[in-house]
C-alpha cells in the first residue's frame, strides 16, 4: 500500500494544478450542445451543475419539441434553440463560446467546421471523425478561425486513469513491457446508427476500440511504430451486415513494449492491464462513467488503489472545464484535434492491416 501512496502523493501537485485551474476565474463559458441523444442530453447536459467554468447556453436539435423541453428545463429562451438547418446563426449568439458536437460520427466533421466558421471553439466527441482526411479538415478549419479544438477523451480527466498513468511511469512498476486492453458491449438494435457504416464509419473499433487504443498510447506514453490486426465478424448476424464485430490488434512501440488491444460488439468488457518489469497495474472496469477500479501487484491484483480526486468533480466536468480554462487562459487542450488525428491514422492502419492480412508500419 505504501508504494501506491508514495506514487500518488508524487502526482498530487499536478492534480491540484488541474483543480486550481478548474476553480474558475471570471465568467463561465457558454456551451451549445449539438445532438440531444444519449450522450449529449443524458450525460453531458446534467454535468454543467458540476462545472465551475462552464454552463449550458444553447441546444441544437432536429426535434423542436425536445429542444424546447430541454431549454425550458435549463432556463434557456427560444433564442438559445437551433435546428441543424439554422445552426450557422449561432455565430450571432455571443452567449455561446463553445460548440460541443455529440452527433453520430459521420457528422462530426461537418458540425465542427461549421462551428469554427461561426467563430466558436469546439469540443468534438470521439471518434473525432470517420477518416484522416476529415480530421485534417477539422484541424485546418479551427486553425483558420483561430479557435480551439478538443476531443471528448474523458478518460484523461478520470481519477482512476490519471492515477494509473502515474503508476505506469513509476519506479515501482518499472519499464512497461506489455499493455492489454479490451473494450466492448453487446450491441442491440440492428438499425442503430452505430451499426450503419455511413453514419459510424466502422464498427466496434470506432466506438469502443478507440478506448483500448487510447489506453495503449496514454499508458505507455509512446506512439506505435507498427500494427498487425485481424477481424472476426459473423456477417450472417443482422447487426453486422455493414460493420465489424470483433477486431484484435497488436501495436509495437519504439521501446520494445507491445500492446494487445481488442474491441467487440458481442460481449461486455472493459479492461486495461499494464505489465511492467517490477509490477503490474490493472483497471477493471477501466473506462466507465463511474465505478472504475484500480489494482497493483506483482503476480495479480494484490492491492486495490484509491485514486486521489481528478481535476473536476467528475470526469465530465473536468473535461468541460478544461476546454473553458484553455479558452480563458490561452492554453492548448491536453486532448487536442491533433490527438484525435493520431488515433484516426492508427485506426485506418488497423483496418488496413486486417483487410490486407499484414503488418502495417506507421511513419
How far apart are CB 101 and ligand NAD at their closest, in Å? 8
Show the DSSP H helices in 104-206 as ranges. Answer: 108-117, 132-144, 159-169, 197-200, 204
* 2: its cell numbers: 505504501
Q: Which residues, numbered 118-137, are part of the site for ligand NAD (CB under 6 A)?
A: 125-126
**Binding of ligand NAD by 152 (CB under 6 A):** yes
Question: Which CB sits closer to ligand NAD, 177 or 313?
Answer: 313
Helix (H) or strand (E) holding 220: helix 210-220
Within residues 194-223, the interface with ligand NAD by CB under 6 A covers 199, 207
Instruction: Tell me the closest approach of the beta carbon of residue 196 to ligand NAD, in angstroms.
Output: 8
Q: How far is the CB of 302 from ligand NAD (least distance, A)?
A: 30
Stretch that binds ligand NAD, among 98-106, 113-121, 233-241, 292-300 (CB under 6 A): 98-106
State the greatest distance between any 2 C-alpha atoms of the chain, in Å, as a whole number. 59
11 or 344: CB nearest ligand NAD: 344
User: Is there binding between residue 104 and ligand NAD (CB under 6 A)?
Assistant: yes
Q: Is 49 a catalytic residue?
A: no
Which position among 11, 56, 96, 102 is part of the footprint of ligand NAD (CB under 6 A)? 102
Helix (H, G, I), strand (E, B) or coil at 195: helix
Backbone angles phi, psi at 359, to 5 degrees: -75, 135
What is the C-alpha to C-alpha distance for residues 62 and 338, in angstroms, rounded to an integer? 30
User: Distance between CA atoms of 39 and 67, rounded to whole angstroms?
Assistant: 15
β-pairing verdict for 54-60 and 29-34 = parallel
The least CB distance from residue 312 to ligand NAD, in Å, is: 15
What is the smallest separation between the CB atom of 103 and ligand NAD, expressed in angstroms?
5
- In the annotation, is 126 catalytic? yes
Please tell me the distance from the alpha carbon of residue 144 to that of residue 149, in angstroms, as a whole number: 12
Contact, 324 vs 29, CB < 8 A? yes
Name the one range near ligand NAD by CB under 6 A: 11-19, 101-109, 261-269, 291-299: 101-109
In terms of Cβ atoms closer than 10 Å to its own Cβ (0-12, 13-18, 19+), residue 26 is exposed
DSSP lists the bridge partners of residue 99 as 32, 122
The three cell numbers locating residue 234: 459473423
Secondary structure of 303-340 in HEC code, one letter for each residue: EEECCCCCCCCCHHHHHHHHHHHHHHHCCCCCCEHHHH
State in angstroms the smallest separation of the CB of 173 from ligand NAD.
27
Give whichever of 37 and 308 is closer to ligand NAD, judged by the CB atom: 37
Select the span of 103-111, 245-253, 255-263, 327-335 touching ligand NAD (CB under 6 A). 103-111
Distance (Å, rounded) from C-alpha 164 to C-alpha 4?
A: 10
Which one of the spans 102-110, 136-144, 162-170, 261-269 is the region binding ligand NAD (CB under 6 A)? 102-110
Taking the least distance from each CB to ligand NAD, the nearer of 165 and 275 is: 165
The one catalytic residue in 31, 82, 111, 211 is 211
Binding mask 180-199 for ligand NAD (x = CB under 6 A): -------------x-----x
Give the nearest distance from C-beta 175 to ligand NAD in angstroms. 31
Q: Is 226 helix (H, G, I), strand (E, B) or coil?
A: strand
Taking a C-beta distance cutoff of 8 angstroms, is the pair 76, 58 a contact?
Answer: yes
Catalytic residue, chosen from 31, 126, 148, 351, is: 126
> Residues in contact with ligand NAD, total (CB under 6 A)?
18
Closest CA to 149 of 104, 117, 107, 194: 117
Nearer to ligand NAD, 8 or 159 (CB): 159
Among 3, 24, 37, 137, binds ligand NAD (CB under 6 A): 37
- Which of 46, 62, 238, 331 forms a contact with ligand NAD (CB under 6 A)? 62
Pick from 212, 161, 205, 171: which is nearest to 187 by CA? 205
The residues assigned a catalytic role are 126, 211
The residues binding ligand NAD (CB under 6 A) are: 35-40, 62, 102-105, 125-126, 152, 154, 193, 199, 207
Amino acid at each position: 500500500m505504501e508504494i501506491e501512496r508514495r506514487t500518488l502523493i508524487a502526482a498530487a501537485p499536478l492534480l491540484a494544478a488541474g483543480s486550481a485551474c478548474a476553480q474558475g476565474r471570471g465568467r463561465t463559458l457558454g456551451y451549445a450542445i449539438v445532438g440531444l441523444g444519449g450522450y449529449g442530453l443524458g450525460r453531458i447536459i446534467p454535468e454543467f451543475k458540476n462545472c465551475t467554468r462552464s454552463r449550458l447556453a444553447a441546444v441544437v436539435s432536429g426535434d423542436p419539441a425536445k429542444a424546447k423541453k430541454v431549454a425550458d428545463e435549463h432556463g434557456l429562451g427560444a433564442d438559445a434553440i437551433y435546428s441543424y438547418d439554422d445552426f450557422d446563426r449561432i455565430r450571432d449568439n455571443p452567449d455561446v463560446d463553445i460548440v460541443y458536437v455529440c452527433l453520430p460520427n459521420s457528422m462530426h466533421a461537418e458540425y465542427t467546421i461549421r462551428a469554427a466558421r461561426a467563430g466558436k471553439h469546439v469540443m468534438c466527441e470521439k471518434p473525432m471523425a470517420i477518416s484522416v482526411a476529415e480530421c485534417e479538415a477539422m484541424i485546418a478549419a479551427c486553425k483558420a478561425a483561430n479557435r480551439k479544438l478538443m476531443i471528448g477523451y474523458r478518460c484523461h480527466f478520470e481519477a482512476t486513469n490519471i492515477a494509473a498513468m502515474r503508476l505506469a511511469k513509476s519506479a515501482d512498476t518499472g519499464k512497461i513491457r506489455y499493455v492489454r486492453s479490451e473494450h466492448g458491449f453487446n450491441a442491440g438494435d440492428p438499425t442503430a446508427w452505430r451499426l450503419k457504416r455511413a453514419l459510424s464509419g466502422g464498427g466496434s473499433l470506432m466506438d469502443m476500440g478507440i478506448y483500448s487504443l487510447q489506453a495503449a498510447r496514454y499508458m505507455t506514453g509512446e506512439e506505435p511504430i507498427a500494427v498487425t490486426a485481424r477481424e472476426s465478424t459473423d456477417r450472417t448476424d443482422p447487426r453486422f451486415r455493414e460493420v465489424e464485430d470483433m477486431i484484435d490488434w497488436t501495436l509495437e512501440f519504439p521501446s520494445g513494449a507491445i500492446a494487445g488491444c481488442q474491441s467487440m460488439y458481442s460481449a461486455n468488457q472493459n479492461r486495461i492491464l499494464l505489465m511492467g518489469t517490477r509490477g503490474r497495474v490493472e483497471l477493471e472496469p477501466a473506462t466507465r462513467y463511474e465505478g472504475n477500479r484500480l489494482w497493483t501487484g506483482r503476480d495479480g491484483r494484490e492491492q486495490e488503489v484509491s485514486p486521489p480526486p481528478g481535476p473536476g468533480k467528475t470526469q465530465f466536468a473536468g473535461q468541460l472545464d478544461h476546454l473553458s480554462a484553455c479558452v480563458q487562459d490561452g492554453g492548448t487542450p491536453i486532448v487536442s484535434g491533433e490527438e484525435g488525428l493520431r488515433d484516426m491514422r492508427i485506426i485506418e492502419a488497423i483496418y488496413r492491416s486486417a483487410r490486407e492480412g499484414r503488418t502495417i508500419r506507421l511513419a
